[in-house]
Amino acid sequence: MTILSDKSIKEHLKSGKIIVDPIKDFDNQIQPSSVDMRIGNEFKTFRTVQKPCIDPKDESDIDSYMENIYIKDDESFIIHPNEFALATTYETVKIPDDLVARVEGRSSMGRLGITMHVTAGFIDPGFHGKITLEISNIGKMPVALYPGQRVCQIVFETMTSPAERPYGHPDRDSKYMGQKHPESSRVKLDYDLQK
């Protein structure tokens, strides 16, 4: 795979092959090999519940274990040590069938102990929507996160050929296509747990 340079990213954005919208500050958000992404206003955190565990096969809705939080533009979301939260990027992205993308945390956030994705940093070809961020504070101090703040970056890579069945294809199980808000896990819909 080949990582797209800033020149190629700009060409793909201008032609509409890649969509990252809205970009507030084109010159500063386009990095040498990535696009800086901002955090949105919506967050989800786990509630403390009296259950022994989250069971992916359980019929109850995983979303019922979570609390939705909306932060105004001039406020902050405080993530405490050892806390986990879901959020979305401010930007909506659309990935073509012949590219994949990865979400990487910004170094400036990592140096505060903030990770922006736990395991789901990979974005399939064909995906369209806001990116759900899996945020953890592995540091020792609470950290304030502000809507519109650049917290991560998206890197684009070329594939050897376009995907035959990209994300969103009618034959695929694309549970998060078109998401606009932080989405709780939909693991219970996985075909291997439906048996």
What angle (nearest 5°) sits at the alpha carbon of residue 149, between those of residues 75 and 71? 30
Bridge-partner residues for 143, per DSSP?
79
191 is in an annotated binding site: no
With a CB cutoff of 8 Å and minimum separation 6, the contacts of 74 are none
| Gap between the Cα atoms of 136 and 169, Å rounded | 31
4 is in an annotated binding site: no
160 is in an annotated binding site: no
111 is in an annotated binding site: yes
175 is in an annotated binding site: yes
Backbone angles phi and psi of 172, in degrees to 5: -105, 155
Catalytic annotation on 134? yes
| Gap between the Cα atoms of 71 and 169, Å rounded | 34
167 is in an annotated binding site: yes
150 is in an annotated binding site: no
Residue carrying the six token digits 């800033």:
6
Which of the residues 42, 134, 157, 164 is marked catalytic?
134
**Residue list for the binding site:** 106-111, 124, 132-134, 153, 167, 175, 179
Query: Any idea which residues carry the catalytic annotation?
Result: 134
Q: Which residues are annotated as a binding site for dCTP?
A: 106-111, 124, 132-134, 153, 167, 175, 179
